[in-house]
Amino acid sequence: MHPELTQFEIWLKCQYPHSSVRKHYKSDLALFFSWAEKPPSAVIFYDVDEYIHHCLLKGLSPLTINRRLSSLRTFYYFLSIVNDISMPCPVIPKRHFLRKPQPLPRDASEEQIKILFAHIHHPRDTAMFSLMLECGLRVSEVHHLSLEDVLSEGPPRLRIHGKGDQDRIAYLPPPAWDALQSWLTSRPVRNDRAVFISEHGNRLSVSGIQFILKEYCRNSGVHITCHQFRHTFGRRMAEAKLPITTLQRLFGHRSPRTTQRYTHLLNLFLREEYHRAIRSVMEHLP
């Protein structure tokens, strides 16, 4: 490993002490420099051109390629602030970043939700997936929950450590609170303070939670991902006409534009305007 990468990893630990961001940066940079086979000081923008071509041939999506390029840019930014000798960044945004597709988020239907939850009988799993569905939590946020994060004085709520080291409060509707209480009363006493633990008494990992959901999907015959629970929460709130700024805070988004795309809000407004116009047209037809 190049010494600069080791320094960068130490810097990331200080910048993101509790985030999985470090893992992605480390992986992205390891892949690039393994391919380039040259030190950071020798990389030029033509190398980045070739690397993008290499990634496209491997079938990687523009989203994945852009993430790797962002990791590379952050690395060279780090070098520029810690080195006395200026090292130009070989990633040129207007030249290298690919246009990203904007697919609509996929939520789950109410029928799919009903079928899936009919197959979930373990109180731990009911609570986990209820928090994602009824509070919009990310799977990583469920993974990070500790017993101290459950706030029962006043309205039931959770302290959430979210993406980008951003903390927020998530309020629990009665079904989610009841499911969580049912699990906490039956949760075995263990040294690990995680809310959701495995049969061995350890904090459930993100991949562990995803695997559990996959098994329920296989047994129920429906396919739902953890993130689709979050999309479904957004769709429900949008249909209930919750203000976009309120939903933004509940989601933990930095920009309302992200929330707007996430929840199909524009589509809902478009649908209402369309049906209003159609009714008007039909009333005036001979």
Provide the whole-model pTM: 0.64
Domains 3-96 and 110-270 in one fold: no
Top-tier CATH class for 110-270: mainly alpha
Q: Which of 73, 144, 161, 253 is catalytic?
A: 253
Task: Give me the count of residues in the chain.
Answer: 286
Q: Which of 138, 161, 235, 261 is catalytic?
A: 138
Q: Which of 51, 124, 262, 264 is catalytic?
A: 262
**Over the stretch 75-112, which tens digit does the pLDDT of each residue have?**
999 988 887 667 889 999 989 998 876 665 678 889 99
Residues 6+ apart with CB under 8 A from 174: none
The CA distances from residue 132 to 113, 114, 239, 268, in Å, are 12, 15, 18, 22
Q: Count Cα atoms within 13 angstroms, Cβ side, for 82.
A: 14
Query: What is the C-alpha R_g of the chain?
Result: 23
Q: Which of 24, 54, 159, 163 is catalytic?
A: 163
**Over the stretch 139-178, which tens digit does the pLDDT of each residue have?**
999 999 999 999 978 889 999 987 777 889 999 999 999 9
What 84-89 contacts at long range (C-beta under 8 Å, 24+ apart), as own/partner pairs, is: 87/40, 87/41
- Annotated active-site residue 262? The verdict is yes
- Annotated active-site residue 230? The verdict is yes
**Over the stretch 1-57, which tens digit does the pLDDT of each residue have?**
688 888 888 888 888 776 777 888 989 999 999 999 999 999 999 999 999 999 999
Report d(CA 7, CA 244) in Å as an integer: 41
Residues 6+ apart with CB under 8 A from 91: 45, 48, 69, 72, 73, 76
Q: Where are the alpha helices (DSSP H) in the chain?
A: 3-15, 21-36, 45-57, 62-82, 93-96, 110-118, 123-135, 139-144, 174-186, 206-220, 226-239, 244-251, 256-262, 265-283
- Annotated active-site residue 254? The verdict is no
- Which residue type is seen at 258? T
Q: Does the pLDDT at position 265 exceed 60?
A: no
Q: Does the pLDDT at position 266 exceed 60?
A: no
Q: Which of 96, 144, 161, 230 is catalytic?
A: 230
Q: Which CATH number fits domain 3-96: 3.30.2010, 1.10.150, 1.10.287, 3.30.450?
A: 1.10.150
- Annotated active-site residue 100? The verdict is no
- Which residue type is seen at 136? G
Report d(CA 103, CA 225) in Å as an integer: 16
Q: What percent of the chain has pLDDT over 70?
A: 92
Q: In the chain, where are the structural domains located? A: 3-96, 110-270
Q: What percent of the chain has pLDDT over 90?
A: 53
The confidence score (pLDDT) of residue 81 equals: 84
Report d(CA 236, CA 113) in Å as an integer: 13
- Annotated active-site residue 22? The verdict is no
Can you tell me which residue has the tokens 């480390």? 26
Residue 168: strand pairing partners: 160
Q: Which segment of 18-22, 72-76, 202-206 scores lowest on mean pLDDT? A: 18-22
Our CA angle for 221, 228, 195, nearest 5°, is 95
Written as six digits, the tokens of 109 are 């239907």
- Annotated active-site residue 253? The verdict is yes
The confidence score (pLDDT) of residue 82 equals: 80
